[in-house]
Amino acid sequence: MKKTYKDTDFDVILVGYGPVSKVAALLLDRLGWKTGVFERWGEVYPLPRAVCIDHEVYRLLHAGGLGPQVDRVVERAPMYRWYNAEWKELLHLDWPAGSVSGTSEVNFIHQPSFERELDAEVKRRNNISVFFEHECVGISQHSDYASVTVQDLVSLQENTYTAKYVIGADGANSFVRESLQIKRHDLGFEADWLVVDYMLNDGLTATDLGLIECGQYCNPERPTTIVPGGKIAGGRENRRWEFMRLPHETKEEMVTLEKVHSLLGDWIKPEQGELVRHALYTFRSLVAEQWRKGRFLLAGDAAHLMPPFMGQGMCAGLRDVWNLTWKLDRVLKGQAEASLLDTYEQERKPHVTDIIKLSMFLGNIICIPEPEKAAQRDALFLSDNPPEMQPFPQLTDGLIARKEAGQLMPCAGMLSPHGTVRYRRRTARLDRFTDCDKFKLLLARDFAEQCLDENTQERLALLDIETVVVADRINAQDNEYADTQGQILPFMETHGVNALLVRPDHYVFAGVVHKAQLDEALDLLARQLEQFGIEAMLAA
């Protein structure tokens, strides 16, 4: 029976209006939920901060209906290279070569342009109400709703609004987190870096200036990051420099214009562009110890902070709300118990912690101001056996297939493959054809013929799992998905499976080799979903 709630002003309240909150509001709107957003500032933040999104975030934005908005502001990343003080290449990552998502590994983005696109889309949605200059000053929760008290910073009047759930996406100094008395665990990284954004003159490019396109200058005299900062309307190019503060320099000294121009002097002259902004950041590694407290949840910088060396800060926050919104949807519809929301922290907290540790590992290699240690690093990377890059983290807990003995089923927790397919004489990305709100079973055609008997199809229908039969591009029938980009079937072959049971957020619940293993995976899924009210879901 569908759960009923106390009448509230909103289904979900979001505190803060950064990119994580904007995307969360738009995803919730797509699912039909009324959202209220409260932001203490009077406008969208106008200056660049994050500069990249990875392939997974690019995919989730498209799947969430935000493809046109992101496509207008992204550019594919070039090769990413590290150099030592003598400009010898220590390593390179071929980002343009592709990814499991069928696109470039990384895309660069001008965050203010991206946020303006999102803000314009928010304003077109009737289910989203945004309140600027409204500061959150109090929160409370009850058995069937939560409340947020905000002060209108113009009239100074206070009002209280209610919702079924509240998401604190209010940044590193989160009022929601502090009000809930949630502490943060410090993973031990701290370094000060001066971040500088410079808009090149019209028609001028990084190549014209002799700049490296994208990379790290690992010079112990001044470790420096040089990357694209995205393009703005009209095509002008934004460049990002990040300069490490050295032990003998003060924080006050680093933010003077004289110091900024001195550091930029080796790279660009004032007459070649416009200084957009400069700010000294203390890069830290912090993770909230609790991500859900009843009807309150944390996301983005409110839940975690990380060094920037993997460009994963904003990406991690957008993964948070992608993971959270499909679960909130089921809870709000009465198709799952509220305990499903506990898997949000179980999945995202270890995942983001692993990403932070990987970013710290890279930062500790880059941030070496001692010449002797830098020389040792260089020798290691230039040797016949250089260090290998660690694989990107995957899910290790939560709603993934784990046998009774504790071991994961094949591919469980991996990001599923994606790419361009042909279906019924149309060609597009797979997510354009399938229902991204459902679990999906991707099957190689030969395996589908063996295992999709009447009983299995009945079970798939009962669990509301969409069936996607994949064939090679030459022999695919109209009612099959032709793997035209060669992304899906090769992934299965590489991992030795014939089918992938995939969650709504694109993570693999389980990979299967044979019919008995498919039955086992469906049993495990039904058993796990039953813990969260599967009977209610099936009856809905």
Helix (H, G, I), strand (E, B) or coil at 477: coil
Contact between residue 206 and residue 214 where contact means Cβ atoms under 8 Å apart? no
pLDDT attached to residue 538: 45
Q: How many CA atoms lie within 13 A of 316 on its CB side?
A: 32
For residue 225, what are its two tokens?
């990051």
The closest of 294, 333, 339, 26 to 168, measured between CA atoms, is: 294
Q: Which is it for strands 481-482 and 237-244: parallel, antiparallel or unpaired?
A: unpaired
Contact between residue 323 and residue 397 where contact means Cβ atoms under 8 Å apart? no
Q: How many CA atoms lie within 13 A of 387 on its CB side?
A: 13
Please enumerate in sequence order all residues whose Cβ is within 8 A of that of 89, keeping only pairs 6 or more positions apart, or say none.
81, 82, 83
CA distances from 204 to 72, 195, 216, 383, 501 (A): 21, 21, 22, 37, 48
Contact between residue 344 and residue 52 where contact means Cβ atoms under 8 Å apart? no
CB atoms within 10 A of CB 310: 21
Q: How far apart are CA 392 and CA 12, in angstroms?
A: 32
pLDDT attached to residue 234: 65
Average pLDDT per block of 10 residues along the chain, 540 residues long: 67 98 98 97 84 95 95 91 94 92 94 94 97 98 96 97 98 97 95 92 86 91 91 78 93 96 90 91 95 98 94 96 97 94 98 95 88 95 90 95 89 97 95 93 95 94 95 92 96 98 97 96 93 57
Contact between residue 457 and residue 466 where contact means Cβ atoms under 8 Å apart? no
pLDDT attached to residue 116: 94
Q: How far apart are CA 44 and CA 116, in angstroms?
A: 8
Measured CA angle at 528 (ends 323, 325), to 5 deg: 20
pLDDT attached to residue 539: 40
CA distances from 366 to 216, 386, 424 (A): 7, 15, 50
Strand partners for 23: none
User: Which CATH fold would you assign to the domain 420-539?
Assistant: Glutaredoxin (3.40.30)
CB atoms within 10 A of CB 157: 10
Contact between residue 168 and residue 174 where contact means Cβ atoms under 8 Å apart? yes
For the chain, what are the domain ranges?
10-73+109-183+289-364, 420-539
The CATH code that applies to domain 10-73+109-183+289-364 is 3.50.50.60
The closest of 374, 401, 384 to 527, measured between CA atoms, is: 401
Tell me which DSSP letter residue 434 carries: S
pLDDT attached to residue 382: 95
Burial class (CB in 10 A: 0-12, 13-18, 19+), 228: buried
For residue 189, what are its two tokens?
């990284």
Contact between residue 187 and residue 361 where contact means Cβ atoms under 8 Å apart? no
Contact between residue 280 and residue 254 where contact means Cβ atoms under 8 Å apart? yes
Q: How far apart are CA 507 and CA 417, in angstroms?
A: 9
Measured CA angle at 42 (ends 40, 44), to 5 deg: 100
Contact between residue 187 and residue 283 where contact means Cβ atoms under 8 Å apart? no
For 8-76, the DSSP string reads -SEEEEEE--SHHHHHHHHHHHHTT--EEEE-SSSS---S----EEEHHHHHHHHHTT-HHHHHTTEEE
Tell me which DSSP letter residue 403 carries: -
Helix (H, G, I), strand (E, B) or coil at 506: coil
| Per-residue H/E/C for 295-318 | CEEECHHHCEECCCCCCCHHHHHH
For residue 201, what are its two tokens?
């003159």
pLDDT attached to residue 209: 85
Contact between residue 174 and residue 287 where contact means Cβ atoms under 8 Å apart? no
